[in-house]
Amino acid sequence: AKQEQNISETQGTKPKHRTSTGTGTEARGPGGGRRGVGGETDSGDDAHRIAPSPVVHVRGLCESVVEADLVEALEKFGTICYVMMMPFKRQALVEFEGLESADKCVACGTSEAVYIAGQQAFFNYSTSKRITRPTNSDDPNSGNKVLLLSIQNPLYPITTDVLYTVCNPIGSVLRIVIFKRNGIQAMTVQNAQKAKAALNGADIYAGCCTLKIEYARPTRLNVIRNDNDSWDYTKPYLVRREQGKGRQRQAILGEHPSSFSDNGYGSHCPLLPLPSNNRYKRGSHDIPEVVAYPLPQTSSYIGHSSSSVAMVSGLHPTKMNCTRIFNLFCLYGNIEKVKFMKSVPGTALVEMGDEYAVDRAITHLNSIKVFGKRLSVCVSKQHAVIPSQVFELEDSTSSYKDFSMTRNNRFTSAGQASKNIIQPPSCVLHFYNVPPCVTEEELQRLCSEHDVPGYIKFKVFDAKPCSKTISGLLEFDSKTHAVEVLTVLNHYQIRIPNGSNPYTLKLCFSTSSHL
């Protein structure tokens, strides 16, 4: 908070360098001082000028600037000890090792344009003589293997998978703990320094989830379980996982990259889409591009999916078939074909509309429980599903089905795709396209007839008088119950007396956690 106050105090001032003696109309210059007709600036009274300091206040930064950009642009003036980013103010504090370096920086910024990440920045001395470190270390160059990440403007969920995907390409991540303030432990201090430089001030998603990175006080993170809120990458046995599957990326949050936004995939943005000025392409081997983060080489899931085919294992032998797989997976993308593998019982290949649909399916469905079995969803080596070795499943349905022409695919047009609620499984289902005459009791009976759990709470939304259908919410005892109901009853044909065509019951996971 103290540093923020200092930034506010110094904004709009410049060090004393020269006073304009010209006369005439004055206007504000971009650096905050008054600009005379001769192009020189008048910083005001001596009483308001700031004494020289090793800490330089930088303002006028572009929105997408990161710490490494400042270091790259300003290290020519001297050794930089510390950088404090203020991304929402488009400002930063840069602490040089000596006052002479700060003098050079401020003087150069006064006499000529200095560009940071392609945009001119403005410089002044800070009222602080030193930037306060979270570790309170007396050594200005001290580091720590543990980084404190403050996620600002977190519009989307941030999980261990998201942070791992962001940080691991820069240096091996050992542990992650997420609480009200996040921590990531790298393998070495050098890895932590590289991650801080490359990511401090960056957006995980375009326009939100901005990273502010500092060295943390603890030197080690303690992890007791591996889940969305904490993960120890040195102890994979903390959670039961299928050998060889590796970590799955959980960074898409339901939508295509921004380059696909014109195709109707909604407003959700991907993990750090490439800025228009391509400024992240520094040509450095030390800091990778801050886009399209791949997972480590130990994972079978590198970057985004290279195939539009997902492999699903852990399927219940009698309760899962092609249609039920479609009912579940269609929430995350179009389904082209589904095929059970005869050589690997309980395993199926799902060909989806594109590789991003596979990304979303992995993100939201990997490791969920369905009918007492835990699903494992990963990218298949196959690039298409071929209808060979078709056989009969235990429920007497075919092991292969083509869904490419079904009207129940939900991403067939831009308008249709933008209306989808792409959510991870929850205990609340959103139902729609139900005839108004259907009652709460009839929906409950429908669950009973299909041997799936009944709901505990029911809510119907107010419909327009002329509406031909109703919609609402169903709350279940658990997320697993909701998943099973959706798997069985999604796209169920509801017939009404004297009706010419049946109504197709549509289900998806709700954004509500409880009713």
- pLDDT tens column, 161-182: 888 888 887 788 888 888 754 4
168 lies in the same domain as 219: yes
Domain count for the chain, please give it: 4
Mean pLDDT of 201-216: 77
- Phi and psi (nearest 5°) for 43? -85, -5
- Which residue blocks in 62-150 are alpha helix, DSSP H? 67-74, 99-111
| Cβ-based neighbour number of residue 419 at 10 Å | 10
393 lies in the same domain as 441: no
Mean pLDDT of 60-88: 86
Q: Identify the residue whose tokens are 């000028």.
A: 49
121 lies in the same domain as 191: no
pLDDT for 488 equals 97
Residue 75 has pLDDT above 50, yes or no: yes
Tell me the residue range of the domain where 335 lies: 309-416
- Read off the tokens for 368: 């969920």
How does residue 40 score in pLDDT terms, banded at 50, 70 and 90?
very low
Domain assignment of residue 444, yes or no? yes
Alpha carbons 118 and 61: distance in angstroms, whole number = 9
pLDDT for 186 equals 59
394 lies in the same domain as 325: yes
- Which residue blocks in 289-420 are alpha helix, DSSP H? 322-329, 355-365, 414-418
pLDDT for 428 equals 95
- Phi and psi (nearest 5°) for 355? -70, -25
Q: How far is CA 290 from CA 75, 128, 279, in A?
A: 21, 31, 10
What's the CATH number where 347 sits? 3.30.70.330
SS3 12: coil
Report pLDDT digits (tens) over 499-512: 788 999 999 999 88
Half-sphere exposure at residue 160, Cβ-oriented, CA atoms within 13 angstroms: 20
Q: Which of 48, 54, 166, 146 lies closest to 105, judged by CA?
A: 54
CB 355 within 8 A of CB 252: no
121 lies in the same domain as 209: no
Q: Identify the residue whose tokens are 């995350």.
A: 332
Alpha carbons 431 and 440: distance in angstroms, whole number = 12
Q: 408 vs 159, which has greater pLDDT?
A: 408
pLDDT for 252 equals 29
pLDDT for 134 equals 61
Mean pLDDT of 45-57: 76
CB 73 within 8 A of CB 114: yes
Domain assignment of residue 273, yes or no? no
388 lies in the same domain as 433: no
pLDDT for 149 equals 82
* Domain termination site, one of 232, 253, 281: 232
- Read off the tokens for 224: 């007791």
Q: Which amino acid is at 502?
A: P
Residue 440 has pLDDT above 80, yes or no: yes
pTM of the model: 0.46
Report pLDDT digits (tens) over 7-28: 334 444 333 333 333 333 333 3
Report pLDDT digits (tens) over 458-499: 999 988 888 889 999 999 999 999 999 999 999 999 998 887
Task: Give the pairing type, strands 373-374 and 369-370.
Answer: antiparallel
Q: Which of 441, 269, 450 lies closest to 356, judged by CA?
A: 269
SS3 307: coil
Domain assignment of residue 277, yes or no? no
* Domain termination site, one of 74, 91, 125: 125
Domain assignment of residue 460, yes or no? yes
Alpha carbons 20 and 40: distance in angstroms, whole number = 6
